[in-house]
Amino acid sequence: MAEPGEEDLAPEQANAIMASWKQHLREEFGEDLRRVNEVRFGLTGVLKEFNRHQSRWLARLELFTCGYSVACEEDEKRAIYEVWVAERDTDYAVARIGFDYDLARGVKRIVEVSEVSDHYVLSLHEVYDFLALALKLAHAFYAASPARPAAASHPATASAMATPEDVMERKRSLRELFTEDELRGVNEFRFKLARILREFNRQQHRWLAWLSVDKCFVCEEDIVHYDVHVLTRDTRERVARVTLSYNLAKGVRRLLGIYGFAGGRALGFNEFCDVLALALKLVHAFHTA
């Protein structure tokens, strides 16, 4: 359910479409519409500013209820906000930023900050622009209609943290999956990312991050995924994942996304800033290696 555009429409047509869309929102959200709109207006304000200053990209907001999304059960009272960034000339989407507002519990959650294009890879500076937009949107999302405290943490399962045996098994698996030359390239990036995580873990009292490296088995080309898992230090509960990918054949490196974990602990704005700062360091090291 995207915000209606008014391009190439007569004023009467634009007004009729806008009135119909507003009525649809009232029917969908009922008494929760005020809170839904507070968030929507905050996000829209950021996007208008972004679109005024961008000559290449155009960002638009889409708003869904559970009935339009597979992200939740249909009877839940949630507003799902999706921001899509597309090329102005082609309208091809290149990035997505997703937010989830649980209206019943008053809990807000950042779902995803990711690249989505199969034909265009964002450069390092374009990734910086994209993540800067994500930060502004996140601030607007949390500042509007203040949420209740984040959902309580749940005890982590034994598999939340890699054991030494897991690490050895993954190393053995990588040796079987790649040639010696390929593995040298894979490990070059693995070592760079691991150094950043060691420094992050030394400085952080709240979070703990660890890296897993795996070959993408559903991809048509040889692509390696570097998944950085961010956990709470005390309970080892996963709160976010930063995924980078490396196309061995083309030598293309990219940030696939920053992802939250549904159903668990919801990050607050300051906590999201911690994860985003880590992602920026990882992306820089990954692109400049």
Collect the ranges in the chain with pLDDT lower than 50. Answer: 149, 151-159
CA distance 283 to 125: 10
Distance between CA 43 and CA 269 in Å, rounded?
15
Helix (H, G, I), strand (E, B) or coil at 190: helix
pLDDT (tens digit per residue) in 87-107: 999 999 999 999 999 998 888
The pLDDT of residue 67: 57
pLDDT at 8: 57
Task: Give the model's pLDDT for residue 138.
Answer: 97
pLDDT of residue 21: 66
The full length of the chain comes to 289
Do the beta carbons of residue 134 and residue 280 sit within 8 Å? no
Q: Where are the alpha helices (H) located in the chain, listed in sequence order?
A: 11-29, 33-53, 124-143, 164-177, 180-203, 269-288
Following DSSP, what letter does each residue of 140-187 receive, concatenated? Answer: HHHHSSPPPSPPPP-PPPGGGS--HHHHHHHHHHHHHHS-HHHHHHHH
pLDDT at 27: 72
pLDDT given for residue 62 in this prediction: 93
pLDDT the model gives residue 168 = 72
pLDDT of residue 9: 60
What is the reported pLDDT for 231? Answer: 94
